[in-house]
């Protein structure tokens, strides 16, 4: 519908311009009414200018639309004039597309914030990093386990946790591992698991850390207790 209106408008303008030019040539060849010839010629020039301006206005609006997408400026609005079809209809469509893009972007941002909140509140430590070792995210549980305020590079683990750093880098996606580390006199048995994923064109690795030292101690106590009972009954 929008394209049909634009095509009709262009066709009408071209027909009027053609008629004006034909009339201009007929008068120029058959009469010496120079004032009339001049006025008709001026009308033809104005019609050509109006046609070019009409087409350029459409291109200008589409260019502004593309620039808005490139600059992520989805707050831009196009003037809607009900007395100026089809530009009014085009502006309505462009504004609707802008609203949908902005809504989708807001929903994506909300989902990202929700995911960040969930990751920060889980009890298992999580570290996300890029192939070059740049840490993208470290949650509260991981900071508590490693006793750090922040972690910029996986290589920074070398200072206090060399075995952990080596295991994290060597661990393959889908595999798990157990690393014994000590921090401020506290012994921890960290169960590690690794996964890899992509966001856009970027690759990331996600490592989970869970201290199972207390669980292992309980398991060992249960085994010792069972062994003692067996010896007693024996």
State whether 185 and 211 are in the same domain. yes
Q: Tell me if 70 is assigned to some domain.
A: yes
Q: Tell me if 94 is assigned to some domain.
A: yes
Pairing of strands 186-199, 176-183: antiparallel
Task: Give pLDDT, residue 219.
Answer: 59
- What domain range is 9 assigned to? 2-108
The two three-digit tokens of residue 72, written as one number: 């992520």
What is the chain's pLDDT, residue by residue, as a tens digit (234 residues)? Answer: 444 566 677 777 788 888 888 888 888 888 778 788 888 888 888 888 877 777 777 677 777 777 777 777 777 776 666 555 555 566 777 778 888 888 888 888 888 788 878 888 888 999 999 999 999 999 999 998 898 999 999 999 998 899 999 999 999 998 999 999 888 778 888 999 999 988 878 899 999 999 987 666 555 555 454 545 455 455
Helix axes 87-121, 2-30, angle to 10 degrees: 150
Task: Give pLDDT, residue 3.
Answer: 46
- Tabulate helix, strand, coil % of the chain (nearest 5): 60, 20, 20
Cis peptide before 86 (omega within 30 of 0): yes
Q: Tell me if 226 is assigned to some domain.
A: no
State whether 57 and 98 are in the same domain. yes
Q: Which of 108, 133, 165 is the last residue of a domain?
A: 108
The CATH number for 173's domain is 3.30.450.20
Per the CB < 8 A criterion, the answer to whether 195 and 174 are in contact is: yes
Task: Give pLDDT, residue 2.
Answer: 46
Q: How many domains, in total, are found in the chain?
A: 2
Q: Tell me if 46 is assigned to some domain.
A: yes
State whether 104 and 135 are in the same domain. no
State whether 6 and 103 are in the same domain. yes
Could you tell me the pTM of the whole model? Answer: 0.55
Task: Give pLDDT, residue 105.
Answer: 80
Q: Tell me if 78 is assigned to some domain.
A: yes
Q: Tell me if 119 is assigned to some domain.
A: no
State whether 207 and 144 are in the same domain. yes
State whether 91 and 189 are in the same domain. no
């Amino acid at each position: 519908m929008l394209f049909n209106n634009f095509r009709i408008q262009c066709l009408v303008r071209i027909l009027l311009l053609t008629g004006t030019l034909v009339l201009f040539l007929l008068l120029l060849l058959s009469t010496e009414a120079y004032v009339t010839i001049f006025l008709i010629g001026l009308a033809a020039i104005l019609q050509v200018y109006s046609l070019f301006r009409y087409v350029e206005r459409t291109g200008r609006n589409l260019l502004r639309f593309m620039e808005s997408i490139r600059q992520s400026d989805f707050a831009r609005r196009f003037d809607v004039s009900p007395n100026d079809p089809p530009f009014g209809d085009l502006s309505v469509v462009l504004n609707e597309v802008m609203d949908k893009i902005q809504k989708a972007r807001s929903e994506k941002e909300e989902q990202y914030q929700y995911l960040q909140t969930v990751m920060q509140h889980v009890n298992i430590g999580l570290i996300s990093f890029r192939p070059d070792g740049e840490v993208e995210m470290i949650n509260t549980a991981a900071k508590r386990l490693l006793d750090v305020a922040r972690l910029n590079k996986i290589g920074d683990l070398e200072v206090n946790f060399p075995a952990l750093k080596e295991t994290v880098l060597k661990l393959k996606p889908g595999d798990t591992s157990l690393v014994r580390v000590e921090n401020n006199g506290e012994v921890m048995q960290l169960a590690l698991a690794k996964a890899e994923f992509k966001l856009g064109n970027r690759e990331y690795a996600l490592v989970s850390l869970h201290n199972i030292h207390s669980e292992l101690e309980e398991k060992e106590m249960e085994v010792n207790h069972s062994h003692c009972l067996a010896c007693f009954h024996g």
